[in-house]
Amino acid sequence: MLRQIINIAWKEFLQIRRDKFLLIFLILAPTMQLALISLNTAQGLRDVRTAVLDMNQSALSRELAQKMNVTQELNVLYFPRTHEELHRLLDEGRAQVGLTIPSGFQRQFNSPNDAPAQVQAMIDGSNVLIGAETEPVLRGVLGLLVTRHVQLPPDVDVGGVKVESSALFNPTFNIQWFVIPSTLTFITYQVALVLAATGFVREKEIGTLEQLLITPIRRLELIIGKALPPIILSILNFLLLMAVQTWGYHIPIRGSFALLFAMATVSIIAIVGVGTVISIVTQTQQQAVLLVFLLAILEVTISGYMLPVENMPLLMRSLAQVSALQHFMTSSLAIILRGSNLKMIMPHLLALIGIAAATGAIAWRAFSRHIA
């Protein structure tokens, strides 16, 4: 069995090497992309998951938390009791903004002669959109709080509130730290999907599929043999891009590279499964490439690359849960920027395994109906 799979894979490598002009540009792709991007970006930033550590426990501090929660941009979900619990929420990605209200907040707020009352905001800088938009919202909420409680002439200097904010995981809000790892996963996704989507359909067009079917090769061996080269080539492409990202752009990998590589491998297997299904059900390479472009546009739109998944319409949030690119991109960013461990990204890993198993089963079934 292994020898036959290797022979099929070697044949596929040779065919891939000869096909130099696989991708074509279609007019439908940019049209659909424009519509999807407009639909998502029009939503704005909404319901950013927020945690408030209230060490003051006063009426004023509770009012501040309540005013944050009623904004469109912030959604206060957690009230941790310690700094350790607050940091754990941020490290695990359950909260994207952490606000600490110190114990002397109300006293300093009501004392014009003292230094301004301070609150500390910790913002998840791994998503530049959240980092750039959240701090102005916090300042606006605090401004409303000052306006409501301080009724003094304009020439009187009041204590007020001073925001001390720091960006976690991306201290300078460097957009490259978010864009380059995200783009890396999308390029890897495209390579794996295109290579897999042209495997069986190319055999149909050149008339060699019938020859393969009459050989003593079982369906499982043929499917694995055709899927193996796209998986290997995509992994090599991922490693090359990682080298460029690390040494060319000096983006650190805070988590385990072994875990990142394992997640990339599982993601590529799931993506190749999707491409194999496309290759089996289409009749020409033009059809396969059209489906690849349409699927890639949809997946990059729901992946979180342009807007956090939480801010998308309900339909797109549901589609994102079965998107291999979304799970690949989210888990990669978590490992690279936040240093997440296996437990933190386990939901994404299980989702990718499920997608790989489902697409494998669909490919098996489709092969029996459309080819065998």
Determine phi and psi for 114, rounding to 5 degrees.
-85, 175
Per-residue model confidence (pLDDT) at position 209: 66
Number of H helices, E strands in the chain: 15, 5
Alpha carbons 229 and 11: distance in angstroms, whole number: 9
State pLDDT tens for residues 159-169. 555 556 566 67
Q: In angstroms, what CA-CA distances link 92 with 19, 89, 105, 337, 349? A: 44, 5, 28, 12, 15
Tokens of 128: 């530049």
Q: Which of 352, 213, 215 is nearest to 280 (CA)?
A: 213
| Cα–chain center distance at 45 | 16
CA distances from residue 80 to 50, 56, 87 in whole angstroms, order as listed: 11, 13, 9
Mean pLDDT by 10 residues, the chain (372 residues): 70 61 43 46 69 90 87 87 90 88 84 72 76 77 75 51 62 68 86 85 72 69 83 89 84 90 95 91 83 86 79 82 92 90 92 93 79 57
Query: What is the DSSP track for 148-195?
Result: HH----TTS----EEEEEEEES-TT--HHHHHHHHHHHHHHHHHHHHH
Stated pTM of the model? 0.68
State how far the Cα of 258 lies from the Cα of 196, in Å rounded to an integer: 25
Q: What is the pLDDT of residues 117-155, one digit of tens each?
A: 788 888 887 776 676 678 778 888 877 777 777 655 555
Where exactly are the structural domains of the chain? 2-42+174-370, 48-168
The string of DSSP codes covering 202-266 is: HHHHHT-HHHHHHSS--HHHHHHHHHHHHHHHHHHHHHHHHHIIIIIS-----S-HHHHHHHHHH
Residue 354, pLDDT score: 94
Q: Which DSSP state fits 340? A: -
Cα–chain-centroid distance for residue 27?
27
The CATH class that applies to domain 48-168 reads: alpha beta
